[in-house]
Structures are given as structure tokens and as C-alpha cells.
Amino acid sequence: MYALAIHGGAGSLPRADTTTERERAYRDALAAALEAGYAVLRAGGSSVEAVTRAVVALEDDPLFNAGRGAVFSYDGVNELDAAIMAGGSLAAGAICGVTHVRNPVTLARAVMEQSEYVMLAGEGAEEFALTRGFALVPREYFRTEARWRQLERIRAGDHGVSPLTISPVGTVGAVALDVHGDLAAATSTGGMTGKRHRRIGDSPIIGAGTYADNRACAVSATGHGEMFIRLAVAHDIAARVRYGGRTLSTAVHEVLHEELATLGGEGGVIALDRSGEVVMDFNAEGMFRASRREAEPARVAIYAGE
């Protein structure tokens, strides 16, 4: 059995605000990223490679809050975070606060595979990138007008005082199970619109926004990062499965709808176990998501109940 699930962020996506054309663009982008990762699995490739390919496709698409099209910090900079984890070895790599790396997930993977560390930050991560042959891109590469207008609205006080009051949409992630029985997870984000300079969210924190363990499951999260860090959401889900005796869907449900809800956090997760069970759950209005299991058709969805 092999399987892949991806997300493109969760939050308030009232249907009235989403034109049909825009909605189609999101669905097409999700389908294309899913296929990019699924093709790896179909060819017998690794789950690590599959989540990398899927996340790269989403990072390259300006619709999503990762890579090009990432949200701006209050200072007007795109500061990017990403992580990846291999469930067989528990190897993990993460980078945070980078501003010149076109595909942050590939640098997180280089940290995992080509360094003795788990997380590198800011300039140090970019110096490491240069030593591993990455070409850095100018900051303008990440800029889109839509994200800039969102920042201007925050600066003008449109959404109240806190960037956390703006629903986060567009972080991307993937979880995969390959034909060898190995799980992997990856997440990539620009964080929260208008975030304070150097604020780091849950996405690059192993156990918070990203986790994979063959003994339990692979998880990638999206939502208000501060709450996901405080609850160690991704690891909590894996722990409930591994030694709490929960099924994957029960573990996800408890963490999202009981723990996270108690803190007032909004968001969602995609999770996958070694049997190929896919869970894509959220406590927000919607979550951009897609999945495909071996010999089954692809599934693409945005709203609850789809």
C-alpha cells in the first residue's frame, strides 16, 4: 500500500468570498501537487521524496502561503519556515526565518540528510544552503500583490490589533506512505500575516506542526502556530496512536476538537498511518486538501463535508 495526502492551509473560507474561478484554481493546484508526489510513490520512490515533490509544487504556486506567495511579516519581509521528517529513522530537518531560499522544504531536507543538526535558522541556514549548492533568490521572488495588500490591511488596523485575528490560510504540507512501508511528513509556510520579525510558528518545530514515526503515523498541521506549539499537536497525535491505543481518526479528533478547541486555536491536520488510513480533519471553515491511496482515485476538497 502507498498513499499521499496534502494540505494547503485551513481557515475561514466562506463560499461567498471565493469566486468559482478562484476555487477552481485552488482545486487544480492541489490536484497537480498531489500528482507530483503520487507519481514518486507509484514509481516505487520514497515517502521522503514524495512529500518533498508535493510540497515543492505548492511552494512554487503563488496561491499558497509557502515559498512564492508567502505572507509578509509586519516589516514587509517573507520569512519562511519548513520541516521534514522520515518515520523509519526519525531523522528530521528544519529551517526557520529564511528569506532567500526558493524551496524551503528542500533546504530542510538538506539539513536532515546532509548535516548533523535538526534545525538551522536565518542567515545560518542560508549560509548552509550555499555550502550545499543552493542558489539563493532575491527577496522579491516571494512577493505577490495579494499578500502585500493583506499586509497593508493589517498595518492599517483593519483586522484589529493582532495578526492572529486574521485567519491563516495557505500553509502547505504533505504526508506519505511508500511501498517500503515508510512514512514521512513535511510542512512549509510563510507563517502568519503581519507576524513580528523573527516570529517562528509550529510548522518547522518537530512535534508541533510536523512529525513522522513508523510506529504511529505521519502528521502535518496548519493553523494558529502558537497553540500548535503549546500542545505539541503532531507529536501528541502520534503518541495517542502509539501508546494511547487510539485509532488515527480518534487521536486526531481528540487533539483538534478537544485540546485545540479548549485553547481557542483554529486549524487542521493531515495524518496517515502505515495501513494507509488517511485522516484530514479541521476545526475551521475549510481546509485545502487532497489525498490518494494506491489503486484509488484522487480526492480534492476544500469545505467541510466534501
d(CA 291, CA 297): 9
Min dist. Cβ of residue 101 to ligand ASP (A): 16
Min dist. Cβ of residue 26 to ligand ASP (A): 15
Q: Are β-strands 91-98 and 119-121 bridged in parallel, bridged antiparallel, or unpaired?
A: parallel
40/96 with CB nearer ligand ASP: 96
For 227, the grid coordinates are: 497553540
Among 223, 240, 246, 282, binds ligand ASP (CB under 6 A): 223
Question: By CB under 6 A, is residue 202 in contact with ligand ASP?
Answer: yes
35/226 with CB nearer ligand ASP: 226
111/227 with CB nearer ligand ASP: 227
Given the residues 99, 171, 187, 210, the one annotated as active site? 171
Region binding ligand ASP by CB under 6 A among candidate stretches 92-100, 116-124, 135-143, 201-209: 201-209
41/269 with CB nearer ligand ASP: 269
User: Which among 63, 135, 71, 140 has a CA at the least distance from the CA of 103?
Assistant: 135
Looking at beta carbons, which pairs linking 235-239 to residues 24 or more positions away fall under 8 Å?
A: 235/206, 235/207, 235/208, 235/211, 237/211, 237/269, 237/271, 238/211, 238/213
Question: By CB under 6 A, is residue 191 in contact with ligand ASP?
Answer: yes
Binding string to ligand ASP for residues 133 to 172, with x set by CB under 6 A, is what?
Answer: -----------------------------------x--x-
Min dist. Cβ of residue 203 to ligand ASP (A): 5
Among 8, 9, 62, 265, binds ligand ASP (CB under 6 A): 9
Number of residues engaging ligand ASP in binding (CB under 6 A): 14
Question: By CB under 6 A, is residue 189 in contact with ligand ASP?
Answer: yes
Binding string to ligand ASP for residues 60 to 99, with x set by CB under 6 A, is what?
Answer: -----x----------------------------------
Active site residue 171: yes
Residue numbers of the site for ligand ASP (CB under 6 A)?
9, 65, 168, 171, 189, 191-192, 201-203, 209, 222-223, 225
Q: Which residues are catalytically annotated?
A: 171
